[in-house]
Structure 1
Amino acid sequence: MRLTVYLAGEIHSPWREEIKEKAKSLQLPIDFVGPMEDHDRSDAIGEEILGEQPNPIFRDAAASSFNNLRTQVLMQKADLVIALFGEKYKQWNTAMDASAAVSLGKPLILIRPEELHHPLKELSRKSNATVETVNQAIKALAYIFD
């Protein structure tokens, strides 16, 4: 059995590569998908597809449509979602993706540092598992295959 795992969360740190490398070292049969990690392309995709937009608001709206399309397709095909809430970056997209996973009935592993326990308490209770580290998330994934 192979699983497809959607990795939701900020795109500025290498946490996805860490999960992928650890899963590979454990020989877990997992395919990973997630949001567009090229931030410049993510911001420009609307104009890439539709052409130049009249102002930054329209540019963002156009890009958001295509990014939401991509996320919805990939998340619906995923067997499980891992959402990482880091300490450094704003986490709006992570919260949106984690909530979408809950709404879609996708199993959800939430990674969040202890300091974010209180602000994420409701979302944490909706997830299937809440952990504090990438290593703990990998152990949870590995347990599925035991």
Structure 2
Amino acid sequence: MHLTVYLAGQIHDDWRQKLKEQASEKQLPIDFVGPMENHDRSDNIGEEILGEQPGPVFKDDAASQMNNLRTRVLMNKSDVVLALFGEKYKQWNSAMDAGMALALDKPLILVRPEPLHHPLKELSQKAQVTVETADQALEALAYIFDKE
């Protein structure tokens, strides 16, 4: 068995890379996909494809179309969605991606630190698993492959 896991959530630190390295060290048969991690490319992709836009709102809208397409396609091909909510940044993308995972009936692992328990309580109740760290999320994924 092999899994594809969509890594949703903040793009402002290296949590995805660390998780991928840990999964590789554990020799877990997991492919990871997710949003564009190059923030500048993500912000400019609409103009790269559609050409210069008449203003910042139009530029954002064009980029959003491309990023939403990417998210939808990769999430549809995923077996599990792991959505990480961090304490430092606003988490609009995490919430949107978690909601999309639920709408697509994808199993959802919600990663949220304890201080975010209250604001995410309803979403947590809809997730298959809620944990406080990315390490715990990886252990939950590893458990899927446990044969004992």
- TM-score norm. by structure 1 comes to 0.99
Aligned partner of 1:60: which letter?
A: D
The equivalent of 1:143 in structure 2 is 143
After the TM superposition, which parts of structure 1 deviate over 3 Å for at least 4 consecutive aligned residues? none
1:55 aligns with 2:55: yes
What does 1:1-146 align with in structure 2 at a 5 Å threshold?
1-146=1-146
Report the secondary structure of 2:65's partner residue: helix
CA distance in structure 2 between the partners assigned to 1:8 and 1:135 by the alignment:
15
Gaps of 5+ in 2: none
CA distance in structure 1 between the partners assigned to 2:113 and 2:29 by the alignment:
27
CA deviation after TM superposition for structure 1 residue 18, in Å? 1.2
Gaps of 5+ in 1: none
Report the secondary structure of 2:8's partner residue: strand
Aligned partner of 2:58: which letter?
A: F
* 1:77-112 deviation per Cα after TM superposition (whole angstroms, max 9, x unaligned): 000000000010110000000010011000000000
CA deviation after TM superposition for structure 1 residue 33, in Å? 0.2
CA deviation after TM superposition for structure 1 residue 129, in Å? 0.1
CA distance in structure 1 between the partners assigned to 2:125 and 2:91 by the alignment:
18
Report the secondary structure of 1:11's partner residue: coil
CA distance in structure 1 between the partners assigned to 2:45 and 2:17 by the alignment:
23
CA distance in structure 2 between the partners assigned to 1:60 and 1:36 by the alignment:
15
Report the secondary structure of 2:93's partner residue: helix
Report the secondary structure of 1:86's partner residue: coil
Report the secondary structure of 1:119's partner residue: coil
CA deviation after TM superposition for structure 1 residue 135, in Å? 1.3
Aligned partner of 2:81: which letter?
A: V
